[in-house]
């Protein structure tokens, strides 16, 4: 009986939450990989784009009483519009500059976004209104929180939609061509600026969706994007920078590693204290950079 209870706790308290967190990491890491593949720079403001998406949903959940699931599409659209404006104002002027210049610009954008969020919404921790407490769903030993199921299903739907877009549409194929060789793509007649705009739309939209989902899973606060940044880059590096499918695998792996590392494997105490979860992501990233810099899916090297 003790073994059955231990297995139930392992699945309900560690594996399923790790899978949900991994899905959120995957949505953010896809944007980082896409932006690096197309624009050749590491976007350090991407975590704060996730925060922005979470707070855009707060407008509708707090003021109008909407469910965060209903507010998610509007947050996605709003974050995409903001990303296009930021690109035009702060990134496009440095398109032909060395990559380090754009990276520094992204640090400035990161601080601007966080300050704007604090100015508009304050610094308090916020929660979404979900219309009451949801009871866990019972499946034998499993007691699954409905929000975990929805996070996994939403992520799966978005990843499938992205796959169909990249593999079936003309614009998706153009994005892949620009990622492989932007100069050759330009000579071939591909509108590179249009590809860049859609890269920002997709990257920011997925980031906003991830921000709303993490707000549903836990809470919303202004520094959540900074807290997410290390796991996001670890997921992108693990999967292979510039490889969106690798980012999905990397996100799931990092999320599961962080949660399972806190399981009491050898004693009654957690193997790693929960406060050291970011160190798990950092360790995985360092090991991958040393052992296989191109990642699992053979992406680009910084």
Which pLDDT tens digits describe the chain residue by residue (302 residues)?
466 667 777 888 888 899 999 999 999 999 999 999 899 898 999 999 999 999 999 999 888 888 899 999 999 999 999 999 999 999 999 988 888 999 999 999 999 999 999 999 999 998 886 544 567 777 666 777 888 889 999 999 999 999 999 989 999 999 988 888 888 888 888 899 999 999 999 999 999 999 999 999 888 999 999 999 999 999 998 888 888 889 999 999 999 999 999 888 887 788 888 888 888 888 888 888 788 887 877 766 55
What is the pLDDT, as a whole number, of residue 1?
Answer: 44
What is the rounded CA–CA span in Å between residue 236 and residue 241? Answer: 5
Give the number of other CB atoms < 10 A from CB of residue 14: 18
Give the number of other CB atoms < 10 A from CB of residue 189: 7
Angstrom CA distances, 215 to 18, 56, 62, 209, stand at: 15, 11, 13, 10
Q: What is the 3-state secondary structure (H, E, C) of the chain?
A: CHHHHHHHHHHHHHHHHHHHHHHHHHHHHHHHHHHHHHHCCCCCCHHHHHHHHHHHHHHHHHHCCCCHHHHHHHHHHHHHHHHHHHHHHHHHHHCCCCHHHHHHHHHHHHHHHHHHHHHHHCCCCECCCCCCCCCCEEECCEEECHHHHHHHHHHHHHHHHHHHHHHHCHHHHHHHHHHHCHHHHHHCCCCHHHHHHHHHHHHHHHHHHHHHHHHHHCCECCCHHHHHHHHHHHHHHHHCECCHHHHHHHHHHHHHHHHHCCCCCCCCCCCCCHHHHHHHHHHHHHHHHHHCCCCCCCCECC
What is the pLDDT, as a whole number, of residue 206?
Answer: 96
Residues 150 and 217 sit within 8 Å (Cβ to Cβ)? no
What is the pLDDT, as a whole number, of residue 276?
Answer: 84
For each of the domains in the chain, give its residue range(s) and CATH number, in order of start: 2-122+145-291 (1.10.3470)
What is the pLDDT, as a whole number, of residue 2?
Answer: 61
């Amino acid at each position: 009986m003790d073994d059955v209870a231990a297995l139930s706790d392992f699945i309900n308290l560690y594996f399923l939450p790790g899978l949900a967190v991994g899905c959120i990491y995957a949505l953010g890491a896809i944007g980082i990989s896409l932006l690096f593949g197309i624009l050749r720079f590491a976007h350090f403001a991407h975590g704060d784009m996730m925060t922005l998406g979470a707070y855009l949903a707060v407008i509708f959940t707090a003021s109008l009483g909407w469910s965060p699931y209903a507010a998610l599409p509007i947050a996605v659209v709003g974050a995409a519009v903001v990303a296009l404006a930021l690109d035009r104002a702060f990134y496009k002027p440095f398109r032909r500059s060395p990559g380090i210049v754009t990276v520094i610009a992204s640090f400035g954008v990161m601080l601007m976004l966080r300050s704007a969020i604090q100015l508009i919404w304050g610094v308090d921790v916020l929660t979404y209104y979900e219309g009451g407490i949801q009871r866990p769903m019972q499946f034998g030993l499993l007691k699954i929180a409905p929000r975990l199921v929805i996070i996994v299903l939403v992520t799966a739907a978005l990843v499938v939609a992205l796959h169909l877009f990249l593999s079936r549409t003309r614009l998706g194929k153009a994005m892949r061509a620009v990622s492989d060789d932007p100069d050759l793509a330009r000579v071939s007649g591909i509108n590179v600026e249009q590809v860049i705009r859609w890269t920002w739309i997709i990257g920011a939209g997925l980031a906003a969706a991830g921000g709303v989902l993490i707000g549903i899973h836990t809470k919303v606060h202004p520094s959540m994007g900074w807290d997410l940044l290390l796991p996001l880059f670890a997921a992108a590096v693990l999967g292979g920078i510039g490889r969106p499918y690798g980012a999905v695998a990397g996100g799931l792996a990092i999320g599961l590693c962080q949660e399972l590392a806190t399981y009491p494997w050898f004693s009654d105490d957690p193997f790693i204290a929960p406060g050291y979860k970011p160190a798990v992501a950092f360790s995985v990233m360092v090991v991958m950079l040393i052992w296989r810099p191109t990642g699992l899916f053979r992406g680009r090297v910084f």
